[in-house]
Chain A
C-alpha cells in the first residue's frame, strides 16, 4: 500500500509533466502569432534575408536573397515601423481589402445571428415529426464540410445571377446550421414556465421571442456571433471561387497569397487584420464561455 506522501509526489510529477506538455503545446500554438507580430517590426530587407529562400522559390526564378536556409527569426535586427507606415499610409489597396472583409463579414454575422435565433426559436418552441426531420437535416448539413456545399452554392449563385457579387458570399453565409443548432440547444434550456407566464400575461409569440427568449440567449448569441465572425473573417475559398474581381477580395485572401504580394508588408497587414478579431474576442470572451456552457448544459 502506497503512502500518501508517495502518492502526493507522483501526482505532483504527473502534474508537472502535464504542465510541460501543455506549455509545449501552448508555445507551439502561440509561436506563429508571436512570429507574425515580431516580424512586423522588421524591414523588408530583413524579411527577405530570413524567408527569401522560401518565398522566392515559390514564385519567381530571379534571386534577390542571400541565404538558402530558412531562418525563423523572432527579434528584429532593428525595430522598424516601416511596414506599418507602408500599410497604413501608402497602401490604400490593403486598407480597401480590410474594408472588403468588413463589408462581407458584418452582414453575414448580423443576419446569421438573427436568422439562427428565429429558426432556433421555432425548433425549440414547436415539436412534431416534421420538425424532427428538418432538425436532423440541419445536423447532417452541419456535419458536412463547407467544401461539399461549395459546388451547389456556386450553381445556385449562378442561377440567381449573383455570381461574382458579394451577395454570392453573403447570402449563403447568412444561413448556417451550426448557429441554428447551437441556439436551438440553448433555447431548449429555457424553462417553459417563462413562456407560459408571458403568454398568461398576454404576450404574443413575437413578444415572447423578442422580449423573453432573446434576452435570455444574449450571451449565446454573442458567442455564436463571435465564432461566425472569426470563421468568416478568415474565409479564403468563397471569395476565390465566387468573386470575379480581385478588388472585391477580402484581406484574408491576400494573406493566403502572401508569396505573390508584398512580402515586406505581409506581417504588418496580418497584425492589422488580427486586431478586430482579437478585440471582438476579448470583448465577448465571457459570453463565449457562457454561451457554450449553456448549449451543452442541463436539458430544460
Chain B
C-alpha cells in the first residue's frame, strides 16, 4: 500500500514536471521570436536599382613647382645672415644671404702686387732692341764697289795688252774730245726735243716727224670741216620730228573733229533737206573738215622732209666722230714720231758715252802706265779681284751668322715672353679665385618667387657651388601628378577641370594637361596624369586630393558603394533574402559576388550575382557572415 502511494506520488511529481516543462516551452515559444529579434544584428538595406553613374577618377599628388631656381654659393664663405625663410615671397634682386670671407683680403692684395710686377717685367722684355744690320750692309756695299773697280781695272788691263803708245794716247785724247763734243751736241738736241722745238734738230732725226705733223694738221682740218657741216645742218633743222608728230596728231584730231561735225550736219540736213540753214551749216562744216584734212596731210608730208634732215644730221655727226678719231690717231702718230726722235738721239748719246769711256780708260791706263812705267800685272789684278770677292763673301757670311744668332736669341726671348705671359694669366686666375673667396657679398635673388627651401643658417661654412636655397618661380606655375590605371586614363579627357577634395581653397583650380605613360614603373600599363594648378593659395609640397569627372553611363544595377565588401575571393555584397516561417518572414543575408563596373561618390554600378531588385545591405550593427539571420531596421 505504501509502495503504491509512493509510486503515485512519484507519478504526480513527474506529471507536474512534464506540465511545467511543456508550459515553459510554450511560453518560450511565444517569446522566443521577440528575444531572437532583439538578439539579431540590425541591418540597413536598400534596393539595387537602375541608375546613372558619373564616374570620377581620384588621386592625390604633391604640388610641385614647374620651375625652380637654385641659389648657389660662390666661393668658400661663412654665412653671416639669412634674410629669408621658407614660404617668403621675394622679388628679383631681394637680398637672400650675406656671405663673408674678409680674411682673404690681404692675400688678394699680395696677388695683385705680384701680377703688376710680372706685367712690368713682361713689358720690359718686349722692349728689347730689334737687331739692326745697316752697318754690315754698308760695309758689304763698299766691298762690292771695290770689287767692281778691281774687275774694271782687270778688264781694262786685259784690253790693253802691252804698253799704250803715245799715238794711241793722242788718238784717245781726240776721241775723248770728239765724244765730249758729240755728247754736248746731242744733249742740246735732247733739250730741244724735250721742249718740242724740233726745228733745230737735224733732219736725220726728224724725217718721220715732219710727215706725222703734216698728217696731224690734215686731220685737224678735216675735223673742223666736219664740225662746221654738222653745225650748219643742225641750224637748218627748225622743227624736230617729235614736235612735228605732235603737230600732226593735233591736226589729225582737229580734222577728225571737223569731219564728225560735218557728218552730223550732213545727217541733220538729210533729215530735213528743205532747211536751207541746215544745208549751209553742212556746207560750212564740209569746208572746215576739208581744210583741216589738208592741213593734216601737209604736216604729214613735211614730216618726211624733217626726218630726212635729221638723218643727214646723224650722218654729219658720224663724220665728226670719224674725223675726231682720225685726229687722235694722227696726234698719237705725231707723239710717237717725237718719241722716236728722242730715242734716236739717246742711242747716239749712249754710243758717244761708250766711246768717251773707252777713251777715258785708255787715257787712265796710259796715266797709270806713266806712273809705274811698267805694264799692268794682270795676275796681281786678278788676285786683287779674288781678294775683294773673298772680302765680300766673308762679310756676307758674317752677316748671315749674326742674323742666325740674333734669330736664335729672338726665339729664346719669345719663349721667355710666352712663359711670362702664361704666368701672368695664371696669377690672374688665382687672383679671381681669391677675389671670389674674399670680401663680403650679398647673395640676391635673380628671379621673383617663393622660397621653398633654405639650406644654410647663420654661421654655416659654405663651399663653392653649394645650393643655399631653392626658390619656386611663381610665374612658371605649379603641377600635381598622380598615377592611374590605363582604364581610368581612358575615361578622362585632357583639358577637363578637377575638383580639389581635401580642404577648402578659394581660387585653386586644377586642369588636366597630360596623361603620359608611367615611366617610373616600366611594364605597367598605368598612366601619369598631370594637372596644372593655378590660384593664389598654392603651396609647394602640399598634398592635394583631386577628383575628375568622367563620362556618365546608365547601368542596370546600382548599389551604394558602402555596401561593397572585399575578401580573398573578390568583391561582394550581402543581399537580404527572406524566408517564410509560421512566425512570419525571416531575413538572412547571402553573399553575392560582383564586379564593380563604375563608381561615383556614393554609388557603384555592379554586375554579378545581384540584380536590380535585390535588397542590398548597406550598414550593419555588427560584422555579418553569409547565412546569418538579421533584423531589418525599423
Contacts and interface: CB of A to CB of B under 8 A. Distances in A.
Q: Do A and B share a complex?
A: yes
Interface of A: 88-93, 95-96, 98-99, 102, 247, 272, 275-276, 279-280, 282-283, 286
Interface string B12-44: 001101100110011011001101100100000
A90 B14 contact: no
Contacts of A272: 25
B35 A89 contact: yes
B253 interface: no
A247 B581 CA distance: 7
Contact of B32 (A90, A102, A247): A90
A253 to B, nearest CB: 15
B29 A276 contact: no
B18 A276 contact: yes
B24 to A, nearest CB: 8
Contacts of A93: 581, 583
Interface residues of B, number: 21
B583 A89 contact: no
B8 to A, nearest CB: 10
Nearest to A246: B581
A276 B35 CA distance: 24
A92 B14 contact: no
20 contacts: A88-B28, A88-B32, A90-B32, A90-B35, A92-B36, A92-B581, A92-B583, A95-B28, A96-B29, A98-B25, A98-B29, A99-B26, A99-B29, A102-B22, A276-B18, A276-B21, A279-B21, A283-B11, A283-B14, A286-B7
A61 B170 CA distance: 165
A230 to B, nearest CB: 14
Nearest to B12: A283
A178 to B, nearest CB: 25
A95 B25 contact: yes
Contacts of B583: 92-93, 96
A275 B21 contact: yes
A7 to B, nearest CB: 36
A229 to B, nearest CB: 12
Contacts, number: 55
Given A89-B35, A247-B581, A95 B29 contact: yes
A99 B29 CA distance: 9
A251 B210 CA distance: 173
A116 to B, nearest CB: 23
B522 interface: no
Contacts of B523: none
A279 B28 contact: no
A90 B15 contact: no
B18 A283 contact: yes
A102 B23 CA distance: 13
A45 B201 CA distance: 163
Contacts of A92: 29, 32-33, 36, 581, 583
Contact of B18 (A90, A247, A279): A279
A99 B15 CA distance: 18
B582 interface: yes
Contacts of A283: 11, 14-15, 18
A276 B32 contact: no
Contact of B582 (A90, A96, A279, A282): A96
Given A92-B29, A95-B28, A247-B581, A279 B39 contact: no
A276 B26 CA distance: 13
Contacts of B35: 89-90
Nearest to B39: A90
A153 B17 CA distance: 37
Contacts of B14: 279, 282-283
A62 B304 CA distance: 134
A272 B32 CA distance: 15
B581 A89 contact: no
Contact of A91 (B15, B21, B26, B32): B32
Given A275-B21, A283-B18, A91 B36 contact: yes
Contacts of A99: 25-26, 29
Contacts of A279: 14, 17-18, 21
Nearest to A95: B29
Nearest to A90: B36
Given A91-B32, A95-B32, 5 more contacts: A88-B28, A95-B29, A96-B582, A98-B29, A279-B14
Contacts of B36: 89-92
B1 to A, nearest CB: 15
Contacts of B21: 275-276, 279
A102 B29 CA distance: 13
Interface in B551-586: 581-583
B256 to A, nearest CB: 125
A247 B28 contact: no
8 pairs of A and B residues whose beta carbons are closest in the complex: A92-B32, A95-B29, A279-B18, A283-B14, A92-B33, A90-B36, A89-B35, A282-B14
A64 to B, nearest CB: 11
A96 B30 CA distance: 10
Contacts of A280: 18
**Most B-side CB within 10 Å, residue of A89, A91, A92:** A92
A285 to B, nearest CB: 9
A165 to B, nearest CB: 14
A32 B173 CA distance: 186
A89 B15 contact: no
A282 B15 CA distance: 10
A71 to B, nearest CB: 26
Nearest to A287: B11
A146 B548 CA distance: 75
Nearest to B32: A92
A130 to B, nearest CB: 41
A95 B39 CA distance: 17
B22 A276 contact: yes
Given A95-B25, A96-B583, A89 B11 contact: no
Contacts of B29: 92, 95-96, 98-99
A216 B14 CA distance: 24
Nearest to A275: B21
A95 B34 CA distance: 13
A282 B11 CA distance: 8
B13 to A, nearest CB: 9
A133 B184 CA distance: 209
B32 to A, nearest CB: 4
A53 B583 CA distance: 34
Contacts of B7: 286
A157 B29 CA distance: 31
Nearest to B17: A279
Contacts of A247: 581-582
Contacts of B582: 96, 247
A81 B7 CA distance: 33
A275 B22 CA distance: 10
A270 B28 CA distance: 17
A96 B583 CA distance: 9
Given A96-B582, A96-B583, A283-B11, A89 B17 contact: no
A221 to B, nearest CB: 16
A283 B15 CA distance: 7
Contacts of A89: 28, 32, 35-36, 39
Nearest to A284: B11
A218 B26 CA distance: 29
A88 B10 CA distance: 27
A280 B15 CA distance: 8
Contacts of A96: 29, 581-583
A102 B14 CA distance: 18
Contacts of B17: 279
A230 B78 CA distance: 106
A92 B33 CA distance: 6
B411 to A, nearest CB: 103
Interface string B571-615: 000000000011100000000000000000000000000000000
Nearest to B4: A286
Contacts of B11: 283
B42 to A, nearest CB: 15
A124 B36 CA distance: 54
